[in-house]
Amino acid sequence: MTATALHPSEKKTVSPGPHNRPRRRRRRPANDQASWPVAVLGWLGSLVLFSPIAYMLLKSFQTETDAASPSPKLVFHPTLEHYRSTFQAGFWAYAGNSIVVAVVSTILVLLLATPAAYALSVRPVRKTQDVLFFFISTKMMPVAAGIIPIYVVAQHLHLLNTVVVLLILHLGMNLPLAVWMIRSFLQEVPGEVLEAAAIDGAGRIRIMRSIVLPLVRPGLWSTALLCCVFSWNEYFYAVNLTTTTSTLPLFMQKFLSFGELYTAQVAAVATVVSIPVVILGWVCQRSLVRGLLFGAVK
Amino acid sequence: MTTISQPAVPVKSPTRRGSWSRRAPLLPALVITLVLTQIPFALTIWYSLQHWNLLNPGHKGFAGLDNFRTTFGDDTFWKAIKNTVVLTGGATIASMLVGLVLAMLLQKKFPGRGIARTLAITPFFVMPVAVTLFWRSAMFDPSFGLLGWLTDSVGLPRVNWLSEQSMLSIIMITSWRWTPFAMLVLLAGLQALPDDQLEAARVDGANWWQQFRNVVLPHLRPFLELTALLLSMNIIQTFGEIALLTAGGPAFGTTNITYYVYLRAFNSFDFGTASAYGLVTLVLTIALALPALRLLSGIFQKEGRR
């Protein structure tokens, strides 16, 4: 671990050299096997975190009468009634909007953030620190502080209650995080590799395409995953700027009025709207862990 | 100014042309971020100096510092700030502690570890609005909720969570959602710990606690800092949970600044004062966040040297 923390004001550039090469990670030896109490506690902790979701799944298949019993009912006649009524309540329109907003904004974020991160890392511009600082500082802004002008501008541009306004705002919401994450992944690409490629006569775009991007692919995946999750679940802009043409959190909110009485119905809707990102998260968890490990800090 | 043909490798003093071709890839992202964050910011400043209440359209015009006087004189606003600190601090610390313990458990190999980890990270992916509504009726409800059944089973008195322990309820659901994220980052950190260090400590006869204190914790420090930063940045914006669980109550006891500005703007339609609230919030947040940002910049410096 390098213990030499530099003060932010010291703009010190260290030329690439062997002593700065990222430390190679070694495979862990076999003594990493958990003792049984650790295994039991690990399982227990995971199950506790998951239990509300398991409970939600369980309730979604119950009738309202079963769901309203004061003690958890584990034996019951399962029913799909609530799933049926979920899809009949106009689910697909909202789902379509959610997919468009999440997918398009994530693609745009990656397209914009990757070159920016590249400019900030592999080929640093002057004042890199300041620019990074600026990007991350926008994430500190409370969303509430900007909502009134956004509302007024959207109204003037006739963008209220449209998918476009959410798309733009989700782009703005995720872009700083993505620049910052992708840059830290790019930092991991050893400078020597790039130099070698440049000496071999590879152009900038070729280096990017055939060396840099494949190396940071897990990082890009985890960035995309996080952007997708944040966009899919975003509620504040949706509730303030859209009403009928909106995304799934607002569809969910329609069930608020009878939330107290219809637990099973709420459970079914909640399950349906959550499933796409949950599956995406499960599938991509390896790249998420690797991505965070890769880029977070060394 | 000397002009050299395109340098093949990065050089320290770029030519003008070189530096522009380097900056160009940055520009689209930078411009979009500038437009989407700084224009609302500038307009917020402008609005905060205006009398502008949609319910009172006759009274419009320059307000000077009136709105700020209202903001600073408003006890509820200060209460909201206090709530924000309690909620953000509480949920961040809780998520990090539980996340750390879980990461340490799941770092070791055991049967079904992959499945256990998959289950543990799921709360981070489920839609917050959806699970919040579910928690409201199936977990927190005083007569039907699972928590009530649990407290009964261990012989504790029933708690009406959302009205008696409203802040605790919100901290609980927020930490539940963010713990998996903390766990993921910290797990990544633990897996990056080089074995030779622990090996050396073991050879020196260090017990579990000494290994943890002297090897694991120092190694994890940057990861812990990063986790704290990312969590607080996100939890400070908490809105849905408050809106759907307690609507900020009782007696503004769970109103955080995000929710309070929302109430001002979209319930009282007082855009002028709401902008002032937003602006003061922004300044206070930045004042609180500056130490965190400096910390982050320290991390950049450490990993950025190459």
Question: Is residue B62 less than 8 Å (CB to CB) from chain A?
Answer: no
Question: Is residue B303 less than 8 Å (CB to CB) from chain A?
Answer: yes
* pLDDT over 60 (residue B240): yes
Tell me the average pLDDT across B105-126: 91
Tell me the average pLDDT across A209-222: 86
Give the chain B residue whose CA is nearest to the CA of A290. B188
Give the chain B residue whose CA is nearest to the CA of A178. B29
* pLDDT over 80 (residue A71): no
Residue of A49, A112, A204 to mutate for B, most B C-beta atoms under 10 A: A49
Give the chain A residue whose CA is nearest to the CA of B240. A235
Nearest CB to B285; choose among A29, A69, A142: A142
The ipTM is 0.83
Two tokens, residue A175: 């872009």
pLDDT-based confidence at residue A43 (cuts at 50, 70, 90): very high
How far apart CA A254 and CA A265 sit, in angstroms, is: 12
Residues recorded for chain B:
306
* pLDDT over 90 (residue B124): yes
Q: Is B61 helix (H, G, I), strand (E, B) or coil?
A: strand
More confident residue, A189 or A164: A164
Residue B167 buriedness (CB in 10 A; 0-12 / 13-18 / 19+): middle
pLDDT digits (tens, 9 = 90+) for B45-71: 888 888 888 777 777 777 778 888 888
Work out the minimum CA distance from B78 to partner chain A, whole angstroms: 16
Say which DSSP state A22 is in. P
CA angle (A25 as vertex; A23, A27 as ends), nearest 5: 160
pLDDT digits (tens, 9 = 90+) for B177-228: 999 999 998 988 888 887 788 788 888 888 888 888 888 888 888 888 888 8
DSSP B87-131: HHHHHHHHHHHHHHHHHHHHHSB-TTHHHHHHHHHHHHHS-HHHH
| pLDDT of the residue at B90 | 94
The number of C-beta contacts closer than 8 angstroms across A and B is: 377
Q: Is A158 helix (H, G, I), strand (E, B) or coil?
A: coil
Work out the minimum CA distance from B110 to partner chain A, whole angstroms: 6
Nearest CB to B146; choose among A45, A72, A169: A72
Work out the minimum CA distance from B305 to partner chain A, whole angstroms: 6
Two tokens, residue B73: 């004189």
Tell me the average pLDDT across B295-303: 59
Say which DSSP state B276 is in. H
Tell me the average pLDDT across B10-23: 58
Which residues on neighbouring strands pair with residue B61, listed in sequence order?
B51
Closest CA relative to residue A186, chosen from A159, A225, A213: A213
Work out the minimum CA distance from B54 to partner chain A, whole angstroms: 12
pLDDT-based confidence at residue A168 (cuts at 50, 70, 90): very high
Check CB contact under 8 Å for B111 and A39.
yes
Residue B159 buriedness (CB in 10 A; 0-12 / 13-18 / 19+): middle
* pLDDT over 60 (residue B301): no
More confident residue, A160 or A296: A160
Question: Is residue B18 less than 8 Å (CB to CB) from chain A?
Answer: no
How far apart CA A172 and CA A181 sit, in angstroms, is: 15
